[in-house]
Amino acid sequence: MYPKDKLCNWYHGQGLWAHVPKNDWNNWVWQLQNRITTAAQLKQYMTLTEEENAGCEFSDYKLAVAITPYFFNLIDREDADCPIRRQVIPRVEEMNIAPDEMLDPVGEEKTMPVEGLVHRYPDRVLFLVTDRCAAYCRYCTRSRLVSNAQDYNFHPEMESGLKYIEQHKEVRDVLLSGGDPLLLSDKKLAYLLKRLRAIDHIEFIRIGTRIPLFLPQRITPELCEILKNQGPIWVSIHTNHPKECTLEVKKACEQLSFSGIPLGNQSVLLKKVNDNVDVMKSLVHRLLMMRVRPYYIYQCDLITGSSHLRSDVKTGIEIIEGLRGHTSGYAIPQFVIDAPGGGGKVPINPEYVERITESEIIIRNYEGKSYRYALINGSVPVKHDHNDVIEEISV
């Protein structure tokens, strides 16, 4: 179970980089410049397993390796199964292709009217504004285009995306993603948000980002000011394990919150990372302490080379069952499968309805006990004594 003491075990510090001046360490550009991006660099700091070593050799033309020093410190270098390690260090299994795995598992390419803009749902769009992230998740659903390791050659042109949104009045919600939008410079981000704000039919802007986890140093007062000025903006962060919820992350989330930004979290269900109730419960509790509302848990998309990280759908359902009723309702995310081929997100829920008829519904609670709720179809009028009513009112 992570962690034993919820408040005292929050990680903090420079770890392997204790010799680096604090100013550098706290500078997000320094963190980016000093990312670990090669097997040779990894080996300077840790012993790679055979599987990892072989995985690194392939990463150059699959999905680049990049880990910020800050995030690297969270890895338990003695534990080959460390849940942080499994998320960011490549493994040889990435080169396997399981049946049904695909390069575009949620069918984004066929609902992309202009490059970088996915219009799948009636009233909202996904706007991919960059192909770069602070660090790369090995199970990335967009590894075909992110990090530029494959032949995709993604060059989203912000102006054509903006033009599409301006011309489509049915779009009221724009979700910025990528890549990671918070990797854009302050100037570029401010420009983009201002342009979106200027469109009358855009009611709602949100940003999907893992920057607060990979690079909390990026959440500067200047960035917060931009987000505050162009708000309301909602932000979805992406964390999978309670070990990621450090003091630095807590502070970054607080700064965002205090700038008026509601925060949600999206997790991906990953084998030997977070595929059990105890880890998830600890994670969602920490999220609430950081003012982050758990939003979605995704069944891992059928992205090529991810079978070693894919957990069972049944496990996802068991996690939701293990949370509902057992802890705060605010802590419970929606478990979804993003349907292959472009069907969108479909909720997957435990079954709480045992039976439903014309006259009753039999429901099961979190303890497994059954309850009956009568379904009343039409009521019989009750005769009131007029005087009684008058008396009641005059009291």
Ligand X SMILES: *Cc1c(COP(=O)(O)O)cnc(C)c1O
Catalytic residue among 120, 138, 210, 250: 120
Clarify whether 82 is annotated catalytic: no
CA distances from 284 to 12, 78, 248, 314 (A): 20, 26, 17, 19
Clarify whether 2 is annotated catalytic: no
3-class secondary structure per residue, 211-222: HHHHCHHHCCHH
No. of helices (H) and no. of strands (E), the chain? 14, 12
> Residue 345 Cβ, how far from ligand X at the closest point, in Å?
5
Clarify whether 253 is annotated catalytic: no
Give dist(CA 282, CA 286) in Å, integer.
6
**Cβ nearer to ligand X, comparing 126 with 235:** 126
> Residue 87 Cβ, how far from ligand X at the closest point, in Å?
20
**Cβ nearer to ligand X, comparing 118 with 189:** 118
> Residue 146 Cβ, how far from ligand X at the closest point, in Å?
15
Q: Tell me the residue nearest to ligand X as measured from the CB.
A: 126
Give dist(CA 70, CA 32) in Å, integer.
10
> Residue 268 Cβ, how far from ligand X at the closest point, in Å?
13
**Cβ nearer to ligand X, comparing 118 with 279:** 118
Give dist(CA 324, CA 163) in Å, integer.
43
Half-sphere exposure of 328 (CA within 13 A, CB side): 12
**Cβ nearer to ligand X, comparing 126 with 273:** 126
Catalytic residue among 188, 197, 345, 364: 345
Catalytic residue among 62, 91, 142, 144: 142
Give dist(CA 235, CA 258) in Å, integer.
13
DSSP three-state, residue 336: strand
Catalytic residue among 124, 138, 250, 310: 124
Cβ-proximal residues to 46 (8 Å cutoff; 6+ apart), any chain = 75, 77
CA distances from 11 to 247, 253, 254, 287 (A): 6, 15, 16, 15
Encoded amino acid at 43, one letter: K
Clarify whether 124 is annotated catalytic: yes
Clarify whether 338 is annotated catalytic: yes
Pick from 126, 106, 138: nearest CA to 207: 126
**Cβ nearer to ligand X, comparing 288 with 339:** 339
Pick from 274, 286, 275, 190: nearest CA to 247: 286
Give dist(CA 131, CA 224) in Å, integer.
22
State the residues that interact with ligand X by CB under 6 A: 118, 120-121, 124, 126, 175, 345
Clarify whether 151 is annotated catalytic: no
Clarify whether 364 is annotated catalytic: no
Clarify whether 140 is annotated catalytic: yes
User: Tokens 């050659």 — which residue?
Assistant: 153
Clarify whether 120 is annotated catalytic: yes
> Residue 108 Cβ, how far from ligand X at the closest point, in Å?
7
**Cβ nearer to ligand X, comparing 124 with 308:** 124
> Residue 124 Cβ, how far from ligand X at the closest point, in Å?
5
Clarify whether 137 is annotated catalytic: yes
Catalytic residues: 120-121, 124, 133, 137, 140, 142, 301, 338, 345
